[in-house]
Amino acid sequence: MKRVLLALVLLVLPVLLLACSDDEPAATDATTATATVEGGTSGAEGTAPATPSGEATQAGTPATADPGSPVAPSSETPIPPATETVTSTYTIPTSQLPLVRFEGAGVELPVEVPPRSEYAIGLSGRPSLEGRGMVFYREDFGQTGFWMLNTHIDLDIAFVNRDREIVWVTTMFADTQDIHRPDQPYVVAIEAPAGWYAAHGIEAGDTVEYLFDLNAVVTD
């Protein structure tokens, strides 16, 4: 009887050992397959852990912001591409433009200062004008008028005399040919978005300060 039992044990034991050895490769294959799917690659790279959230997946790719973290908006107004003739100052970022300060209101306006050879272009040919203006300076302006031929946006204009005093402020409407001129001489004209002067309470009699050297910046 003992010999029969011993024989049965010897027959069953190899089967159990074989079953245990077959389980081990199956577990390894499952792990490798999962890593390949998460990593998105095959071969040796497929066994690497998935890329942690928020880190770049390759050189030069920016990290994803953590959920809930604020993203600072750009303070620069995008400059749309021009489809018509514009001044050479058109593409200067607003943050890099010189400033004119309106002393009574205590506000400043970034301004383009084109060369005099481009005064006939002025702000014409533009699709929009946001947060900036344009300065025209000539000692012999006298009472020269301005008009809005080929200018597709409404504008305000302030005429300033040699004493830096505004002598007249008016609004000029897009694509019109009305002549706008003050009733007294001026040396500087400052164009701004329509409604900008009224919004800041700026009117005739106020004074301006140029936070740059007019004679040095304005060229022919």
Q: What is the 3-state secondary structure (H, E, C) of the chain?
A: CHHHHHHHHHHHHHHHHHHHHHHHHHHHHHHHHHHHHHHCCCHHHHHCCCCCCCCCCCCCCCCCCCCCCCCCCCCCCCCCCCCCCCCCCCCCCHHHCCEEEECCCCEEEEEECCCHHHCCCCCCCCCCCCCCEEEEEEEEEECCCECCCCCCCCEEEEEECCCCEEEEEEEECCCCCCCECCCCCEEEEEEEECCHHHHCCCCCCCEEEECCCHHHHCCC
pLDDT at 71 over 60: no
Q: Is the pLDDT of residue 15 over 60?
A: no
Give me the pLDDT at residue 80, please.
79
Average pLDDT value for residue range 63-73:
41
Give me the domains of the chain, ranges plus CATH numbers. Answer: 2-46 (no CATH), 94-217 (2.60.120.1140)
- Whether the predicted pLDDT of 54 surpasses 50: no
pLDDT band at 30 (very low <50, low <70, confident <90, very high): very low
> Are residues 46 and 31 in contact, defined by beta-carbon separation less than 8 angstroms?
no
Q: What percent of the chain has pLDDT over 90?
A: 61
pLDDT value at 9 more than 80: no
In the numeric block, the tokens 């159990």 are attached to 16
Share the mean pLDDT of the chain.
76
Q: How confident is the model at residue 82, as a pLDDT?
A: 80
Model pLDDT, residue 75: 60
- Show the tokens assigned to 72: 């600072």
Model confidence at 100, pLDDT cuts 50, 70, 90, reads very high
| pLDDT given for residue 83 in this prediction | 80
Whether the per-residue pLDDT at 40 is higher than 90: the answer is no
pLDDT, tens only, 170-193 = 999 999 999 999 999 999 999 999
pTM to 2 decimals? 0.66
Report how far apart, in Å, the C-alpha atoms of 147 and of each of 2, 125, 172, 201 are: 121, 14, 8, 24
**Alpha-carbon distance 194 to 169, whole Å?**
11
pLDDT at residue 103 tops 80: yes
